[in-house]
Structure 1
Amino acid sequence: MVTAARVCCVRVSGPTQRMPTTATAMDFFQLFVPDNAIQNMVMQTNMYAKKYQERFGSDEGWRPVTAQEMRAFLGFVSSTGVHRCESVLSIWSGGFFGNKSIAPKMSQARFEKILKYFHIVAFRSSQGSQGLYKIQPFLDSLQQSFTCTFRPSQTQVLHEPLIDEDPVFITTCTERESRKRKKRKFSLWVRQCTTTGFICQVYIHLKEGPGPDGLDTLKHKPQLHSMVARQLCQNLASQNAIIFTGPSITSLNLFQEFEKQGIYCCGLLSSRKSDCTGLPQSMLSNPDMPQQRGQSQIKMKGNMCLINWYNKGNFRFLTNAYSPIKQGVIIKRKSGEIPCPLAVEAFAAHLGYICKYDDKYSKYFIFHKPNKTWQQVFWLTISIAINNAYILYKMSDAYHVKRYSRAQFGERLVRELLDLDDCSPTQ
């Protein structure tokens, strides 16, 4: 059996470069969105505007955008994640979300012109037939920067982070608005470090598409989720990583495939959501006899271990990363310590951290919700980049000089993008 001790290896995790104590929020952000990426946005936006006007007529109010204006444009949109602004255009209003401290940096009319023509890739190339061709170069660059700037811990989780689950929105939206939100045409999956929350890899799956990865050819969701897991873990071979998965990804075939690559897994099983092919049916049904809390049944085959653990209900886990012999505990505030296999304790601890991370940081996702899919993906990944930048900031010497909260860091970044003289966040 591959135990946690055997899988464990000397692994240095954290930032790959040391940032100076004087590093600013912009310095951390530009680890992921450097000047050349912004300059490309400038070039592509101007190219698109020119082509658009050649086809549909000149736009007298338009002039080519500059790099300074593009940074300001990013700053205005990013501010919606700091101030919980329902619409980026509210910045110039006199209402509740009006922001007189940043509005003078650009007129609303100019902002709307840039918003109209904003592009990452202006034209489809002969090779760019996939649905995300308008943003794929940016996604590739962003992924490379995530990989180059941070070494994750041994334990990582694959999941879909919170995107539209803002509690204020849910309690105030109409049923029609809620249905509209659910029509998002893509799903966003991540591989995330469970000790820091740093998102190491992002995978975007379009829900509509004729390609081999489209839902037209992957009607069976476990098959789709296994494909997503392979994409997220393609760079983890031979690193002895331990991957935690939810029911939609957990499957015997996938875990065995990963084990051959030196990737170990621990996942929650569900007879309804998981691909249970090859697993004994006796372990997937609830026992006839009543069970006590903390009681568990275990079946093993080679390094693979199937656990049925009872805690006011049956919870099933599949793992090849933790020994079933080793025991752990789940600590409940009212019930005290509940015995469990070590795999269950590890799963609860690591997934619990990620849930807390999501609850804390997802509320800083950019609120701007464009209609075009590629723009939705762009602003979501910008939000992830800002959160990752803050994690690196907290792990740097700069944090010991000025201990900014996530909200203060976001506000400071906005002011630096807007090139405001006073870049200190408001208290």
Structure 2
Amino acid sequence: MTATQPGGVEPFDAVDVIRAKRDGARVPEDALRWMVDAFTRGYVADAQMAAFAMAVLLNGMDRDEIRVMTEAMIASGERMSFADLGKPTVDKHSTGGVGDKITLPLAPLVASFGVAVPQLSGRGLGHTGGTLDKLESIPGWRAALSNDEMLAQLRDGGAVICAAGVGLAPADKRLYALRDVTGTVEAIPLIASSIMSKKIAEGTDALVLDVKFGSGAFMKDFERARELAQTMVALGTDSGVRTTALLTSMETPLGLAIGNANEVRESVEVLAGGGPADVVELTVALAREMLALAGRPDADVEAALRDGRAMDTWRRMIRAQGGDPDAPLPAPVETHTVLAPRDGFVTRMAAYEFGVGAWRLGAGRARAEDAVLPSAGIDLHVKPGDRVAAGQPLFTLGGPDDTRFARALEALEGAWDVGDDAPGDAALVRERIAA
């Protein structure tokens, strides 16, 4: 944190910092640290930080500037430590997608090998789902834990999925809100510093990033997704956090369930040794990556899914947060099924449009304060590459009533196709990025 000079005089001027970045210059380290601190204190106005964010979007930042920005955001709040747990800690962060429930089976799977998984998660906004929203479909489950509760749960069961405390990187929370309304969300230096400031402040030993690209991803373009992954891996490495990334496709929704309660059901199927092949593939790939960073490179993750160890850890984790793992999950009262118009192969199911469709059903939120409907969502009956007959179910919309179906169906117009030829197989995990 950069202190003001005697007499309350600030050591830098926000306009000078904005001009430097506007003109493509490198912002000096002490000036950049001051800018973040002064913004957190309220001295730098929202309009000034918005102008700075736009300058970053247009002109970028070099690796050292991004490191300084990240460190300044970390310094704006508290830092957690898991040093007293007596076991390695490893976390996973996904850049978000449609049907992405991987955290749910992944955290207990990795924890079943004696590794602590402190998974600080968020809520959905727009077409991407939120891990906490999904878990709140489970009766009694609570997202808010104190630091002491989190540590106790990590000691006992090894895995915790909960809301991040307000004390972690508060500068990021303020800047994130500005980026969302000023057209600067896409700036890679700001995305990277936002994600990594929270993850580094969290105090984990190691971190695996699931950086998605494609229709339903935040980064549509593969090369930009790779640049983001490389930037975040460098930030983690520079901060002493062992960090790797997998670049994974989000052209098609993950799994067969898009929503909240239905995604929990699918996650439990994976933990029981079943579930859709793509969800299992990505869960296993990320688990292997996390366990390798945690010093367990020979862990047999498939065996832990088959023999019930991961399921046992899931049940302990849910109970520890007040949830009942045996309670019935909310189910839709009304449904509407879309049928195949002809014989052929499913050639496309666009992730973004299906995410918007589920959002319009009430599975997501347009504003942070909106509530979600646990039973709302879409269940896919087929995936691209499957052969179908005319009249065969393709997907089903569900919710507490049918009032939202028309708008959801509008979003899904043109989002899927049935054709004569099966599409080629596309790799789910495209590339691994390491320091």
TM-score grouping bracket, smaller chain normalisation: under 0.3
User: Which is greater in Rg?
Assistant: 1
Per the normalisation by structure 2, the TM-score is 0.26
TM-score of the superposed pair, with normalisation by structure 1:
0.27
User: Which is bigger in relative contact order (C-alpha 8 A, separation at least 6)?
Assistant: 1
